Amino acid sequence: MNKETTQTVKELLACPQKIVVVGHKNPDGDAIGSCLGLSHFLKQFGHEVSVIMPNDFPEFLKWLPGVDSIKIYEKQKDETAQLIEAANVIFTLDFNTLERVGEMCELFKSATAKFVMIDHHQQPDNYAVATYSDVSMSSTCEMVYHFINAVQESDTITEEIAINLYTGIMTDTGSFRFSSTSPTTHRVAAKLIEAGAQSAIINQNVYDNNSPDRMRLLGVALNNLVILPEMNTAYITLTQKELDDNNFKKGDTEGFVNYALSIKGVLFAVIFIENKNEDMVKISFRSKGQFSVNEFARNHFSGGGHNNAAGGKSSQDLNKTVNDFISILPRYKNQLTNAL
């Protein structure tokens, strides 16, 4: 974090404040871990801190230290609206445009608080008085670690902070596999382990917590896998009925798209998930190497993210969405066949 941003943040936090810390809609391990890690840090200095998420999040994160204090906008609309209205400072973590919080966005647009953004996604909006944006970072959790060191000028990290930040780094790097994992990421992870994050236990809590329903749904997803060898592309579809038949719960499809990407020769993998409640199809894009799924999602599916991991959506039905996707692909044939 640069000197100017550090100075602005230090001034903002110089006396106790009413603070709201918020993550993006459909929060993942990095969003929850970074918000909780930061909130544990801020509470040490007498700030009144509330962590708010736009909607619910997966069971496999519901053991994190402090998780019970999280308020969910969709379930506690009045209470969260009051907290946002009363806040002096709002930290927005792991997203770069206010639209990423969904309906809650309106509350932020009318808020009087000063905003601080900590985020590693591409092309950040300019709504914050302090923007700590770095697209080379593995995760927002790694950035919160650097943020803490910058503002407190020491590396004292409590166990609660360490567990939350380690979890987000681990999940956002695919367990230290993705190319965003730098030597510094490993150094930060080592510091967090020294501070009390037990890697084996965190891995078990996150990854060995599958329900039989999720495993059956994975079977359905793999059965639906389509490979387009001439495009080095693979995609998976899941209909609302398939989700319902397997008692779908939030987070159950997390990581499914990586199975498509793990196929030899596949550089571009996509999962299309029908959501009849919201009348849309949620799409996750993943790639290996140079092919930018951020660009692809931005250009064609109202989304965005990172070079190798992005999301998007379509308001067309599932079949039409997939057909549109297939018809767009030939434009990228050169990139997809020369990417490795």
Residue from 13, 64, 170, 309 touching ligand 5GP (CB under 6 A): that is: 309
Binding mask 2-31 for ligand 5GP (x = CB under 6 A): ----------------------x-------
33 makes contact with ligand 5GP (CB under 6 A): no
Using CB under 6 A as the binding rule, the residues of this chain from 247 to 286 that contact ligand 5GP are 284
Question: Closest Cα to residue 271, out of 256, 249, 252?
Answer: 256
- Counting beta carbons within 10 angstroms of the beta carbon of residue 153, is it exposed (0 to 12), middle (13 to 18) or buried (19 or more)? exposed
Quote the CA–CA distance of 266 and 268 in Å, as a whole number.
Answer: 6
Query: Using CA atoms, how far apart are residues 132 and 116, in angstroms rounded to an integer?
Result: 8
Q: Which of 52, 305, 322, 335 binds ligand 5GP (CB under 6 A)?
A: 305
321 within 8 A of 239, measured Cβ to Cβ = no
Kindly indicate which of the ranges 72-80, 126-134, 298-306, 319-327 contains the residues binding ligand 5GP, using the contact rule CB under 6 A.
298-306
Nearest distance in Å: CB 4, ligand 5GP = 26
Nearest to 107 by CA among 141, 77, 81: 81
C-beta closer to ligand 5GP: residue 37 or 304: 304
Beta strand 89-93 with 304-305 is unpaired
* Residue numbers at the binding site for Mn ion (CB under 5 A): 30, 94, 140, 172
The Cα 284–Cα 262 span in angstroms is 15
Rounded alpha-carbon distances, angstroms, from residue 319 to 249, 273, 274, 299, 313: 23, 11, 10, 20, 14
Supply the minimum distance, in Å, between the C-beta of residue 283 and ligand 5GP. 7
Residue closest to ligand 5GP, measured at CB: 311
Alpha-carbon span 242 to 18, nearest angstrom: 44
Stretch touching ligand 5GP by CB under 6 A, among 128-136, 192-200, 204-212, 299-307: 299-307
311: contact with ligand 5GP by CB under 6 A:
yes
User: Count of residues binding ligand 5GP (CB under 6 A)?
Assistant: 10
Residues in contact with ligand 5GP by CB under 6 A are: 24, 284, 303-306, 309-312
